[in-house]
Structure 1
Amino acid sequence: MSNSPKTLRLILGDQLNYNHSWFKTTHSNITYVLMEMRQETDYVKHHIQKIVGFFKAMRHFATHLKEREHKVIYLKINDKNNLQSLDENLSALLKENNFEKFEYQLPDEYRLDQQLKDFCKKLKIGTEASTTEHFLTSRKELEDFYQGKNQLTMEYFYRYMRKKYNILMLNDKDPEGGKWNFDKSNRKKWKGKPEIPHERGFRKDASKLLEEIEKAGIESMGSIEAQNFNWPESRQDALSVLNYFCENLLVHFGDFQDAMHTEQAYLFHSRLSFALNTKMLHPLEVIEKVTEHWRLNKEHIDISQAEGFIRQILGWREYMRGIYWREMPGYRRSNRLRNQNKLPEFYWNGDTKMNCLHHSIKQSLETAYAHHIQRLMITGNFALLTNTHPDYVDTWYLGVYMDAIEWAEITNTRGMSQFADGGLVATKPYISSGSYINKMSNYCKDCHYNVNKKTEEDACPFNSLYWNFLDEKKEFLKDNNRMGMMMSLLEKKSAKELKELKNRAQKVIKNPERF
């Protein structure tokens, strides 16, 4: 290796793969660089816990490499020689240190992928791009899988992945438990029992880092307990969260994965998405650990608990990434329903009388976390029913959540939540009246509004908004088979009832802050 070129290798903040083949051996002529940059903190306004979490994880990763005698350059946010931009920092480092080659791992965000491609075109030295060795599919695998098919139904891709990796399979054709999908077992409301163990906590001190971020003048949202930071910052931390999930939460994960409750932010959820999306954990090791724990404890953990969890990682996570690379860059402009409204101001402070939104938003701002049903059927549902432009919804979701990286966020927001792609990802809009929220949560119990009323002053706003949406978008939805029953119910409504519903809905849409 002594005759090989003097090389600079870039590691991005979501490429903290401790087991990457890059690090198997140390070489005196290879230097790794990690950078905290305003380019990345400022492209949207991020939750303060997200900024702290990424910086802490990056710093720990750099220390880990140095302890193993790798050469590392680390640019902190306030370093004098930090030019705050990827291109400028790399150009300066390559020149100052006379590097003869530049290498990077393929980014998972389109904008960074393009930026690095363009940067490499200008270089007069050799360049090379490697895989992150993280995902279970290639960028193009989903596109190839659906070649010639009319619908991109996730279920078939999920089955393909189960077979490919031999996960919960009896043989090469038959799934364990006799079914591919136990989703119908995953829809229980949590009513205080069974008891939920406290989440795995770390209680780390982030005070010093917080001071650095404030000194840099970075704008952020949300709150943080500086001496009680509760997210994993290392692979060891992440493995501890995974073990804790298997030992304490998996037993009821599937049952209550769609449930919501005012007194429980996490319920039986794993809180592993940040560790996965920064690549501190590999998806296959997570799946295998959960599968192994289920096998050893079959007598009291039903297969539906394990399958419900595995589906999220082996199915949805890989599926959404495949959609991202198939559809970008046009996907970020999709707005098939032509919605134009702004996101209500209360998304930034939780100040609304609607209890479901108040709790989901307040929780998001306090913890940088909400599970998929809170995102989909509360905050996303209201945004869609009030005709919010998906650009505003994207910006909020990308900023507020700890695990939000564009490849995962935009497909879930534009596709699942806002139906902005016209049905590419979701077979129908994920919308509901107050009845679904009441069915899956205790939010309606102490709400200012009555979930059983539709048009009165104290009626739940979701009820009129729901029917108004169906009426406004009926031309778009008329050929959607999954919406057939609701569209026929809409047609049966009298002109008087529909007018009252629409009048009430318009009051909410025009002035959501009042509600």
Structure 2
Amino acid sequence: MKHTIASTTVPHRTIRLILGDQLNPQHRWFSEVNDATTYVFMEVRQETDYVLHHAQKILAIFAAMRDLAQQLRDAGHQVHYIAIDDTDNLQSVPTNIDALISQYQATVFEYQAPDEWRLDQQLYQHGRRANIPWVMVDSDHFYTNRNEVSDIFTGRKQWLMEFFYRQMRVTHHVLMEDKKKPLGGQWNYDHDNRKPWRGNPPEPQDTRTLHDHSDLWQTIVNAGVKSFGNPQARQLAWPLNRQEALQQLDAFIDNALPQFGDFQDAMSVKSWRLFHSLLSFALNVKMLNPREVVTKAEAAYHSGRASLAAAEGFIRQILGWREYVRGVYWANMPEYAEKNFFGHSRQLPSWFWDGKTRMNCLSVAITQSLDHAHGHHIQRLMVIGNFALLAGLDPAEVHRWYLGIYIDAFEWVELPNTIGMSQFADGGLLATKPYVSSAAYIDRMSDYCKGCYYDKKLRVGESACPFNALYWDFFQRNANSLAKNPRIGMAYRQLEKMDTATVAEFQKQAKIILENIDTL
């Protein structure tokens, strides 16, 4: 039945599902204790196996789920926890729900809106066949609803994040001098945030809490869950509850935000995190609310602890980009996942899984990702993603790799960043140009080129940096698609100045590189 009839023999009983990226102890659900409501957590193979995940991602999510479940129990809530190795675990969300509805004789099932299209559809379709009320509520997390970004751009020829970001600044009165004028007279200080880091000032100390979850990790392995990357099970440093996430937020605001603006695009072999917050995991599993993160960054500017450029650059990532890509995701799924503007189909080289390549920049970025389940946005975009696009790797394969390797990667945020921003596979819906470069950009923003097997200055020859020939070959072979793009006109003007022999030479070099991609 689709509605509940009052009865003295059938008590009202509600089951509420909490997914692994819905770990917000401040959700409205928890404001009152009700013995007729049972909160359900599930560790299921459905969620560990849909792509190959980094070991730390699986471990941290399971550990954080268990932490919140215990918090709820301690607060007096009824909790049913299904562990990965429980004998009655049916290993999928819908089948476990059905079993629990039967076990508890539930009269209502409730869940928070999933952020991934596949889960949203799975629960919606299953709910259509349910014989009890099946209710979805908001996760109480984002600034915008799923369709708000699409509504903002209704009737406009092109979607632009900058337009959306300014709207958000005005609507939520963030870094504003008055209702229409931004503080400092500028909306965006991106130009001030592109300095390389040469060791000074020193990176802040990592003050995150270390956890020993070797027993849980062994349980995960024994259950047959496959993964890759270093689990760091005895020294897991990711926050597992809201208290730890808040401590990490405060440490970032005090110790790293003042330098974040200057060096947010910098890369170095000397530091895997530099001045980045490492808050994206806590944000994306909802331990932290984006509003409190933005508020603290804004307060740091007003109190003189951080420059306007630093505060604005950080806030733009959360209030602007994070909300924007979510809107792009919901406006374009499910077709968005299949986008392949250039028709790229090359498989990922084997060293994407172990970092063993002579290209130092890629070796460092990939090895760091395998070790820490993290890489900052320039490593993801302008090193790994840059190579993937220039080399013509299959964007669907690249998407699955990004979704698996990074601890903060959930499809709503990762897919647009990969398919749209990194691989330009949507043909320009998200990004206004392909984000590619030769070795020069990587050398300017990092120390990766020092001591590399390949020479950053050479275009051709055995020791020439592969980025150089691949860069020009990419523009040459995609001239019909890209030559009229006003944001990359300079590349084509340079190509026009090259003689036929020079073009043929770098095309030959690119062919050799791609034929030997596994041994670079």
TM-score tier by shorter-chain length is over 0.9
* Residue identity opposite 1:385 in structure 2: L
How far the C-alpha of 1:297 sits from its partner, in A, is: 2.2
2:3 paired residue number: none
In structure 1, distance between residues paired with 2:168 and 2:34: 37
* Residue identity opposite 1:428 in structure 2: K
1:141 paired residue number: 148
User: Superposition RMSD on alpha carbons, in Å?
Assistant: 1.1
Measured against aligned partners, the alpha-carbon deviations of 1:111-146 in whole angstroms (never above 9, x if no partner) come to 000000011011111111100000000101000101
Query: Which of the numbers 9, 13, 34 marks the counterpart of 1:6?
Result: 13
Query: Which of the numbers 396, 421, 424 marks the counterpart of 1:419?
Result: 424
Query: Which of the numbers 286, 303, 309 marks the counterpart of 1:296?
Result: 303
1:323 paired residue number: 328
TM-score, normalised relative to structure 2: 0.97
In structure 1, distance between residues paired with 2:516 and 2:121: 40
Counterpart check, 1:174 vs 2:181: yes
1:184 paired residue number: 191
Query: Which of the numbers 258, 262, 271 marks the counterpart of 1:255?
Result: 262
2:511 paired residue number: 506
2:405 paired residue number: 400
In structure 2, distance between residues paired with 1:18 and 1:281: 10
Q: Is the 8 A contact 1:16 1:280 kept in 2?
A: yes
Q: Is the 8 A contact 2:59 2:231 kept in 1?
A: no
* Residue identity opposite 2:494 in structure 1: L
Query: Which of the numbers 433, 439, 445 marks the counterpart of 1:428?
Result: 433
* Structure 1 unmatched ranges of 5 or more: none
1:371 paired residue number: 376
In structure 2, distance between residues paired with 1:76 and 1:297: 47
1:410 paired residue number: 415
Q: How does 1:193-232 map to 2 (within 5 A)?
A: 193-232=200-239
Q: Is the 8 A contact 1:42 1:219 kept in 2?
A: yes
Q: How does 1:348-497 map to 2 (within 5 A)?
A: 348-497=353-502
Query: Which of the numbers 244, 261, 264 marks the counterpart of 1:237?
Result: 244
In structure 2, distance between residues paired with 1:267 and 1:16: 27
Query: Which of the numbers 303, 310, 325 marks the counterpart of 1:305?
Result: 310
Query: Which of the numbers 87, 91, 96 marks the counterpart of 2:103?
Result: 96
How far the C-alpha of 1:200 sits from its partner, in A, is: 2.4
In structure 2, distance between residues paired with 1:302 and 1:130: 39
Measured against aligned partners, the alpha-carbon deviations of 1:277-297 in whole angstroms (never above 9, x if no partner) come to 000000000000111122112
Counterpart check, 1:339 vs 2:344: yes
**Secondary structure at the counterpart of residue 404 of structure 2:** helix
**Secondary structure at the counterpart of residue 34 of structure 1:** strand
Measured against aligned partners, the alpha-carbon deviations of 1:162-202 in whole angstroms (never above 9, x if no partner) come to 01110000111000011000000000000011111122221
How far the C-alpha of 1:29 sits from its partner, in A, is: 0.8
2:64 paired residue number: 57
In structure 2, distance between residues paired with 1:136 and 1:507: 48
In structure 2, distance between residues paired with 1:207 and 1:189: 38
Counterpart check, 1:66 vs 2:63: no
In structure 2, distance between residues paired with 1:199 and 1:259: 18
**Secondary structure at the counterpart of residue 189 of structure 1:** coil
In structure 2, distance between residues paired with 1:71 and 1:45: 33
User: Which segment is superposed worse, 313-322 or 485-494?
Assistant: 485-494
**Secondary structure at the counterpart of residue 170 of structure 1:** coil
In structure 2, distance between residues paired with 1:202 and 1:491: 55
Q: Is the 8 A contact 1:199 1:266 kept in 2?
A: no
Q: How many residues align?
A: 513
Q: Is the 8 A contact 2:13 2:108 kept in 1?
A: yes
**Secondary structure at the counterpart of residue 469 of structure 2:** helix
How far the C-alpha of 1:2 sits from its partner, in A, is: 11
* Residue identity opposite 1:323 in structure 2: V
In structure 2, distance between residues paired with 1:78 and 1:68: 26
Q: Is the 8 A contact 1:360 1:370 kept in 2?
A: yes
Query: Which of the numbers 157, 160, 173 marks the counterpart of 1:153?
Result: 160
Counterpart check, 1:286 vs 2:293: yes
Q: Is the 8 A contact 1:2 1:29 kept in 2?
A: no
In structure 1, distance between residues paired with 2:507 and 2:205: 44
**Secondary structure at the counterpart of residue 435 of structure 2:** coil
Query: Which of the numbers 78, 81, 89 marks the counterpart of 2:88?
Result: 81
How far the C-alpha of 1:347 sits from its partner, in A, is: 0.4
Q: Is the 8 A contact 2:53 2:227 kept in 1?
A: yes
Q: Is the 8 A contact 1:365 1:400 kept in 2?
A: yes
* Structure 2 unmatched ranges of 5 or more: 1-5
TM-score, normalised relative to structure 1: 0.98
Measured against aligned partners, the alpha-carbon deviations of 1:190-225 in whole angstroms (never above 9, x if no partner) come to 001111112222121011111101110111000122
* Residue identity opposite 1:100 in structure 2: T
In structure 1, distance between residues paired with 2:487 and 2:92: 47
* Residue identity opposite 2:294 in structure 1: I
Measured against aligned partners, the alpha-carbon deviations of 1:262-285 in whole angstroms (never above 9, x if no partner) come to 010000000000000000000000
In structure 2, distance between residues paired with 1:392 and 1:226: 27
In structure 2, distance between residues paired with 1:8 and 1:206: 29
* Residue identity opposite 2:106 in structure 1: F
Measured against aligned partners, the alpha-carbon deviations of 1:201-256 in whole angstroms (never above 9, x if no partner) come to 21210111111011101110001222111110000010011000011001100100
**Secondary structure at the counterpart of residue 266 of structure 2:** coil
**Secondary structure at the counterpart of residue 8 of structure 1:** strand
1:18 paired residue number: 25
* Residue identity opposite 2:368 in structure 1: Q
Q: Is the 8 A contact 2:437 2:467 kept in 1?
A: yes
Counterpart check, 1:27 vs 2:25: no
**Secondary structure at the counterpart of residue 352 of structure 1:** coil
